[in-house]
A and B are shown apart, each in its own frame.
Chain A
């Protein structure tokens, strides 16, 4: 017999990445070597490939086609060598790495950009675009770098300091001849005061403080609230925390309304926040029908969750966040054609990221249905080459449910488009030539030669096309999800857009 009070369902300690390379979506270091100048044995050793793969690369692209016809299984290894090598005549500007000391709140920071430039023209301009809890901003800096390889410093001064929390730092370099190199980098800004706690929804990666969601589980008739707790330490020595924390749900602001329910939670292992580092864990609250929290969620009222923790040395940390039920829609993610294991992982990382984008405006995913049309079944639809092909695909295939069909195809080779929606808004029924959206998979080969998808770009692209489907037109305000250009598109969804999506037939209250 379930009780009628909220309890802690479970706690989970997370493995934490370094605060100076915070996101799993960060670039990996690159180090391409000129193939003519490197002993083939070095590449074979470094990349652990069949020596024949290096030989194929030495033969150039024309000879490679011939060689691979005899040994098609070598293709993956050849691409790994290609990703690690510069071919004769290639002189790209490459950012090999971006490094930084731990970034402290309200303190200027310096990014060290490591580059390689096998060309006589110098690097002349560097910029960093910062995405954080506020509006994104850009800091450009004139530089003069003539060396074939070296480092440049990009400085965020007193006017550009950041509060505690994650920050995205997109770094770009330009060479005098117009060549460009760019990488994505993220950091977790640490408190300079020097210990802080923050609460967030599950999986929050890049920006913002928004709401937790009360998620109704029909099978148990409970609301589950998942909260991620991050404790950051700006001190050069570790901090031990007590294993128990207290929690309180309030209606209205903490201290200003009524305390609805309260309790304590205990972590399974001792908590140590590393020196100049972070600790992260999640707690899942379960609120059965009859509990105070269930009743507030059921009436679509806002709650506030407060958590307090105590360090072994006596310091007390408190944090709070709003919790509410959200609107929701579902997506059928339809892979069209072959996706490698890493591409599959990247695709669902992008769907996760897209969920965060909508949750920042109180809309979540009620489900993600995984679908696949194999290359053999697709009958030529693995790439989209025209509007007719796109609409034929919608007509030929659909998922018989009330989720938005999202076709992720191998390529759009059609007028420079990389995404399209059936209509604004799309129908809330299946069948016909308008019942879905399609995007290209945003593939590229990473520095290790692995076929990847560009998770951040893909997340915003799918979110953008689904936004059309749910009723949104283009909107050219700073950082908006519905900007038409994928060069400036951001993750912002405003209240008016929320209002427009609200009545779509596929949008429901959870």
Chain B
């Protein structure tokens, strides 16, 4: 551990020229109620993403249309985490269109496997088992593995004794260590 006697005092940070702030400019979204509702929904979807005392994901029947829209947005930034949160939230609604969309997403080989796995989870155990039966032969490895576990009701297999994680033999993508140094600075003998 670092010796606290070396804790340096807070050092002044250089202020960027022209000051460190600029005023934000907001538009009153009152004239666009669906846009206001969407901004509010997105905030709720992303609010509880950390497992350490994150707030529970809360959505209601009034969010259905916007959730269907968000769950379909597969282009650009937002196609990752935000879209998957919308997929998961569809599972919290007791609505046939939501369940139908989740089934489609879980079964669609076009979709990214994380979207499909989220859709499977969102369906809940009973419906997921039904869908998982049809995914035992899926071309996507991650989907196939999870679906087989869901269909068979099996837990992950643990190594018999705690195992040491093997070294990844694939090198750095650009020949640099990810710590910014040239070469591979690593604590193991590889």
Selected contact of A370 from candidates B43, B77, B170, CB within 8 Å = B170
Q: Are B165 and A371 in contact (CB under 8 A)?
A: yes
Contact A417 B51, CB 8 Å, known A124-B35, A178-B69, A355-B179: yes
Q: Are B7 and A209 in contact (CB under 8 A)?
A: no
Residues 396-446 (chain A) with a chain B CB within 8 angstroms? 396-401, 403, 405, 410-411, 413-421, 424, 428, 431, 440-445
How far is B2's CA from A506's CA once the two chains are assembled, in angstroms? 8
Contact A163 B145, CB 8 Å, known A92-B74, A170-B77, A503-B2: no
Q: Are B79 and A445 in contact (CB under 8 A)?
A: yes
Known contacts A133-B16, A134-B19; can you find 9 more A-B pairs with CB under 8 A? Answer: A140-B25, A160-B23, A174-B38, A209-B14, A411-B114, A413-B121, A418-B50, A441-B114, A488-B46
How far is B6's CA from A327's CA once the two chains are assembled, in angstroms? 10
How far is B26's CA from A506's CA once the two chains are assembled, in angstroms? 43
For A108, what are the chain B residues with a Cβ–Cβ distance below 8 Å? none
5 tightest Cβ-Cβ pairs between the two chains A and B? A487-B46, A380-B156, A379-B157, A413-B121, A420-B51
* Interface assignment of A245: CB less than 8 Å from any CB of chain B: no
Q: Are A64 and B109 in contact (CB under 8 A)?
A: yes
Q: Are B138 and A30 in contact (CB under 8 A)?
A: no
Closest to A410 in B: B142
Q: Are A486 and B165 in contact (CB under 8 A)?
A: no
Residues 149-190 (chain B) with a chain A CB within 8 angstroms? 149, 154-159, 162-170, 172-174, 177-181, 184-188
How far is B70's CA from A133's CA once the two chains are assembled, in angstroms? 32
* Interface assignment of A39: CB less than 8 Å from any CB of chain B: no
Can you offer 18 A-B residue contacts whose CB atoms are under 8 A?
A64-B110, A94-B76, A138-B24, A163-B18, A177-B34, A178-B38, A180-B70, A180-B78, A209-B14, A341-B173, A344-B170, A365-B178, A368-B186, A370-B168, A399-B164, A416-B54, A454-B77, A484-B54
For A177, what are the chain B residues with a Cβ–Cβ distance below 8 Å? 34, 69
Closest to A81 in B: B110
Closest to B23 in A: A159
Nearest-CB distance from A306 to chain B (Å)? 14
* Interface assignment of A337: CB less than 8 Å from any CB of chain B: yes
Closest to A495 in B: B10
Q: Are A332 and B117 in contact (CB under 8 A)?
A: no
Q: Are A415 and B69 in contact (CB under 8 A)?
A: no
How far is B29's CA from A138's CA once the two chains are assembled, in angstroms? 15
B residues lining the A interface (CB < 8 Å): 1-4, 6-8, 10-11, 13-14, 16-27, 29, 31-32, 34-35, 37-39, 42-43, 45-57, 65-66, 69-70, 72-83, 85, 88-89, 104, 107-110, 112-114, 117-118, 120-121, 134, 137-142, 145-146, 149, 154-159, 162-170, 172-174, 177-181, 184-188
Closest to A224 in B: B181
How far is B178's CA from A396's CA once the two chains are assembled, in angstroms? 26
* Interface assignment of A395: CB less than 8 Å from any CB of chain B: yes
* Interface assignment of A235: CB less than 8 Å from any CB of chain B: no
* Interface assignment of A381: CB less than 8 Å from any CB of chain B: yes
Contact A348 B172, CB 8 Å, known A139-B24, A417-B48: yes
Q: Are B50 and A417 in contact (CB under 8 A)?
A: yes
Stretch of A40-48, A68-76, A262-270, A309-317 at the chain-chain interface = A68-76
How far is B16's CA from A445's CA once the two chains are assembled, in angstroms? 37
* Interface assignment of A335: CB less than 8 Å from any CB of chain B: yes
Q: Are A379 and B52 in contact (CB under 8 A)?
A: no
For B24, what are the chain A residues with a Cβ–Cβ distance below 8 Å? 137-139
Q: Are B179 and A365 in contact (CB under 8 A)?
A: yes
Q: Are A138 and B76 in contact (CB under 8 A)?
A: no
For A178, what are the chain B residues with a Cβ–Cβ distance below 8 Å? 34-35, 37-38, 65-66, 69
Selected contact of B49 from candidates A379, A418, A428, CB within 8 Å = A418
For B146, what are the chain A residues with a Cβ–Cβ distance below 8 Å? 382-383, 411, 413
How far is B31's CA from A179's CA once the two chains are assembled, in angstroms? 16
Q: Are A375 and B178 in contact (CB under 8 A)?
A: no
Nearest-CB distance from B121 to chain A (Å)? 3
Nearest-CB distance from A324 to chain B (Å)? 8
Contact A366 B179, CB 8 Å, known A335-B168, A375-B141, A502-B7: yes
Q: Are B80 and A444 in contact (CB under 8 A)?
A: yes
Selected contact of B149 from candidates A202, A380, A393, A419, CB within 8 Å = A380
Q: Are B1 and A62 in contact (CB under 8 A)?
A: no
Nearest-CB distance from B74 to chain A (Å)? 7
Selected contact of B178 from candidates A68, A351, A504, CB within 8 Å = A351
For B39, what are the chain A residues with a Cβ–Cβ distance below 8 Å? 174
How far is B142's CA from A156's CA once the two chains are assembled, in angstroms? 44
Q: Are A226 and B52 in contact (CB under 8 A)?
A: no
Classify chain A: how many residues form its interface, as a range: 35 or more
Closest to B75 in A: A94
Q: Are B139 and A487 in contact (CB under 8 A)?
A: no
For B162, what are the chain A residues with a Cβ–Cβ distance below 8 Å? 395-398, 431
How far is B80's CA from A27's CA once the two chains are assembled, in angstroms? 13
How far is B45's CA from A485's CA once the two chains are assembled, in angstroms? 9
How far is B3's CA from A351's CA once the two chains are assembled, in angstroms? 26
Closest to A327 in B: B2
Q: Are A182 and B78 in contact (CB under 8 A)?
A: yes
Closest to A508 in B: B2
Q: Are B75 and A92 in contact (CB under 8 A)?
A: yes
Q: Are B180 and A139 in contact (CB under 8 A)?
A: no
Contact A424 B52, CB 8 Å, known A170-B77, A181-B76, A509-B6: yes
For B120, what are the chain A residues with a Cβ–Cβ distance below 8 Å? 413
Closest to B21 in A: A135
Nearest-CB distance from B92 to chain A (Å)? 9
For B145, what are the chain A residues with a Cβ–Cβ distance below 8 Å? 375, 380, 382-383
Q: Are B165 and A392 in contact (CB under 8 A)?
A: no
Q: Are B35 and A182 in contact (CB under 8 A)?
A: no
Nearest-CB distance from B120 to chain A (Å)? 7
Q: Are A410 and B139 in contact (CB under 8 A)?
A: no
How far is B56's CA from A281's CA once the two chains are assembled, in angstroms? 48
Contact A486 B46, CB 8 Å, known A125-B35, A135-B21: yes
* Interface assignment of A451: CB less than 8 Å from any CB of chain B: yes
Contact A383 B117, CB 8 Å, known A397-B165, A431-B162, A503-B4: yes
For B172, what are the chain A residues with a Cβ–Cβ distance below 8 Å? 348, 370
How far is B187's CA from A249's CA once the two chains are assembled, in angstroms? 32
